[in-house]
Amino acid sequence: MYKSAFIRARITPELKNEAELVLSELGITPTAAVTMLYKYVVRKHEWPLIMKIPNAKTKKAFEKTDQGIGITSFSSKENFFKHLDKLQMEAEQKLAKENK
């Protein structure tokens, strides 16, 4: 559908500039942000949760997975859950040792 409707809102230049910097960090244009807001409100009939910029640790994890580093794959969901059980057991054992 052709986008022909306009939305006008008066805000301070400072708020506009600050918000556009954050949106830029998120890779979102102001038009896309307003469109996302409107679509969310229409779909959910509620105000959306706040989006956050990933911290340095999360950004580093994203970069590693984008490069295929630290990704584990499994041949079946059973193997996946066995792996999770093993990780949980190891974490519990480590915690028990630390609490001694």
Checking if the pLDDT of 12 tops 90, the result is yes
Q: How confident is the model at residue 27 (pLDDT cuts 50, 70, 90)?
A: very high
Structural domain boundaries of the chain?
Answer: 1-53, 56-98
pLDDT digits (tens, 9 = 90+) for 32-81: 999 999 999 999 999 887 778 889 999 999 999 999 998 999 999 999 99
What's the confidence (pLDDT) of residue 64?
A: 94
Determine the Cα–Cα distance for residues 100 and 96; give it in Å rounded to an integer: 7
- pTM to 2 decimals? 0.52
CA atoms within 13 A on the CB side of 50: 4
Checking if the pLDDT of 10 tops 80, the result is yes
Contact (CB, 8 A) for 36 and 27: no
